[in-house]
A = this chain, B = another copy of it.
Amino acid sequence: MVLLSGGLDSATTLAIARARGFECYGLSIDYGQRHRAELSAAAAVAEALGAREQRVLRLTLEEFGGSALTDASIAIPVDGVQRGIPVTYVPARNTVMLALALAWAEVLGSRDIFIGVNAVDYSGYPDCRPEYIVAFERMANLATKAAVEGATLKIHAPLIDLSKAEIIGRGNQLGVNYGLTVSCYQADQGGRACGICDSCRLRRAGFAAAGVVDPTTYRPL
């Protein structure tokens, strides 16, 4: 079970899971994010990397709001990555997504959930930190019928201590076509990136540091 947003990190995570020999199911969540182009990207990435199945589950998190990614009245920051947790933080997003992955994983009989969180070149989101992942895994192993019956669920976060450049290097070795991925928080319908939001800045710097040609299509601003 691979949480697949359609961005760079989750595509690399899927490639790593495949390289480790897992048969992969990609779960993407349509949570009302303004960068909906990432959902099309997720489908393309899943197919290119040989996922056995990919699903998009609709969840109307925009009813709750509270994030620049789900509330169009909050502007996406474009002046550079600042310290602290930015307004693009979506309340409890990874908890919700991992919970949904846990649900589908149990139905499928999967004991392995992969998530592309990263705590190095990241936006400071609390639910990307190693201690959070450990706590979720511990909770998950008390939550399900599968766990009661003896299955041990593992949350894999293979990118968690890698720099963005290292992630790109790893994915490049594994043949990930990053041209299919969309990271931009305000990508247009065609998936073209703004180049100036935090996610674009971290991504662009990562390609530069990795010495890999950046395949991103940037739109004129």
Residues of A in contact with B (beta carbons under 8 Å apart): 55, 57-61, 63-66, 85, 89-96, 98-100, 102-104, 106-107, 126-127, 129, 131-132, 135-136, 138-140, 142-145, 147-148
The oligomer's copy count stands at 2
The answer to whether A135 and B144 touch across the interface, beta carbons within 8 angstroms, is no
Residue of B nearest to A109 (CB): B66
Residue from the list B65, B127, B138 in contact with A143, Cβ < 8 A: B127
Give 18 A-B contacts (CB < 8 Å), ordered by A residue. Answer: A55-B63, A57-B59, A64-B103, A64-B107, A66-B103, A85-B148, A91-B106, A91-B107, A91-B145, A92-B100, A92-B140, A92-B144, A95-B102, A126-B142, A127-B143, A127-B144, A129-B142, A138-B138
Please give the distance in Å from A159's CB to the nearest CB on chain B.
Answer: 18
The answer to whether A95 and B139 touch across the interface, beta carbons within 8 angstroms, is yes
Question: Once bound together, how far apart are the Cα atoms of A129 and B127, in whole Å?
Answer: 24
The answer to whether B126 and A147 touch across the interface, beta carbons within 8 angstroms, is yes
Please give the distance in Å from A200's CB to the nearest CB on chain B.
Answer: 22
The answer to whether A96 and B100 touch across the interface, beta carbons within 8 angstroms, is yes
